[in-house]
Amino acid sequence: MRRLYLILVFCLSAQGSALSAPVPDLEVLFLDAAMWDKPVGEVLRDRKALGFHWLSKERNDARSTQRGLKLWSLPVGETILRSRDGKLHSFDISIYNRGDNGEMEQARFKELTEKWHGLLMEKTSLEGEKMSRTQKGSVVSADRWVWKCPGAFLVLTSSKSRASRGYTPEFLKLSLVSVKYGKEIYEQRSGLTKSMARRRDLVANRVSAPNGDVFVQGVPMVDQGRKGYCAVASAERVFRYYGLPVDQHAMAQIAESSAQGGTNPANMIAALKKVAGRTKTRLLVHYEIEDRKVRSEIKAYNRLIRKNKEGKEFREGAVTPYQYFLSNCHGPTLREVRAKGTAFDRFRKQIKDTIDTGTPLLWALQVGVFPERGIPQQGGGHMRLVIGYNSKTDEILYTDSWGPGHEFKRMSAANAYTATMHLITLKPSQ
């Protein structure tokens, strides 16, 4: 009787019992009829073999990159379970993405898309509805098919970008969402923006602690993994904080990110400008390095190097990329040059004023200017989110997109400013 009920709920003509299927197979989760009324922890209880781990200490979302993970006996990749208001609301199952899996030939991607499309028709006994490629609120145009079942919505998304010879496959993913959430997204003209937060509502997320910490709570964690996706993962976190289900692979497509090389800050800013209108957001660049300032800073830096006799000088008059300068400078000396005056004051004030509205900031910096413990990246360009400040200790509070243990960290404002390349906000336009 229970088996029949589950088939009716999910419209799945499952072949054989998932309980007897080889583990790990995600189908076992689909057979939990009451999962949409449960916290993620209860859904995952007694299913350690699936390899899920929490994305943050709050235990709202969970992620698995378990080797050999399958769905209906077919290999899948990164799988994320997300909750809303304490209850599970969606799965995102990566079938293919360029960041994790590398390049794929067009013919193979077409074959893979058709295979999963046919499988979903078989499992649901439904044709599936083809959605608009430019769904309101989505950051990329993509092929989407939706199967509206009594117990859940199944969504297959196939995305590719233009290339000199046809196109480049970007990602193929399967989403399973609750009926309530699915109706919000796929049956409303407003699309993904229906449940988006308004600016006036964000201030409620601002928290003041007795120790002087002032911070934004509720920013979801996204784990970029081993990919150089810090910028697009940070952007995803901001969008999800506002209620938009944007993922890093879609942002990577727009920002032309690579798994090895990461995202060029200029490309990231251009990408965010592209999607701002479609997502009812507005991009503001508060701080970026100016060429003339680089030259003057190098001169002042060299004078201190000669005075303190610590570190090495840089050639003056030559064109020195600022990122190269940051990656090779003596941090304490540069801090003496940079962390003072009106520009530094404006930096701190901008962070304070923005956090006080409940808005996180995208923070591009050079890692390695000052030593940091416990991070997987010891040098190079990186993007984080500034989520708070402490005026008593003159610190900023920030978070990295590396999963648990990186949700809430702090750094002196002077060190933060010294290593900064860009400071950006992406705000709801309403």
Tell me: the pLDDT tens digits for 398-410?
999 998 899 999 9
Residue 191 has pLDDT above 80, yes or no: no
pLDDT in tens, 58-89: 888 899 998 889 999 999 999 989 888 888 88
pLDDT (mean) for 232-259: 73
Residue 10 has pLDDT above 60, yes or no: no
Higher pLDDT, 51 or 163: 51
Q: What is the CATH number of domain 199-290+322-428?
A: 3.90.70.30
Residue 12 has pLDDT above 90, yes or no: no
DSSP H helical segments within 356-397, as ranges? Answer: none
Q: Which two tokens stand for residue 217?
A: 């709570």
Amino acid 280: pLDDT:
78
Query: Domain residue spans in the chain?
Result: 2-193, 199-290+322-428
Cβ atoms within 10 Å, residue 238: 24
For the chain, what is the mean pLDDT?
83
pLDDT in tens, 270-303: 777 777 766 778 889 998 877 777 888 899 999 9
pLDDT in tens, 91-103: 899 999 887 888 8
Amino acid 356: pLDDT:
98
pTM: 0.76
pLDDT in tens, 100-139: 888 899 899 999 999 999 999 999 899 888 886 555 445 6
Q: Which two tokens stand for residue 68?
A: 């050999």
Nearest to 12 by CA among 171, 154, 141: 154
Higher pLDDT, 16 or 300: 300
Amino acid 236: pLDDT:
84
Mention every residue, 6+ apart, whose C-beta is less than 8 A from residue 38: 32, 87, 88
pLDDT confidence bin for 350, thresholds 50/70/90: very high
pLDDT (mean) for 308-312: 87
pLDDT (mean) for 136-144: 66
Q: Write b or e for each residue in 180-202: b if 16 or more Cβ atoms lie within 10 A of its Cβ, otherwise e.
A: ebbebbbeeeebbbebbbeeeeb
**DSSP string for 223-247:** --TTSS-HHHHHHHHHHHHTT----
84 near 181, Cβ under 8 Å? yes
Residue 6 has pLDDT above 50, yes or no: no
Residue with token string 């899996």: 101
Phi, psi of 52 (to 5 degrees): -75, 140
pLDDT in tens, 312-344: 899 887 777 888 889 899 999 999 999 999 999
Helix axes 230-241, 265-276, angle to 10 degrees: 30
pLDDT in tens, 374-396: 888 888 888 899 999 999 999 99
Task: Specify the 3-state DSSP secondary structure of 45.
Answer: coil
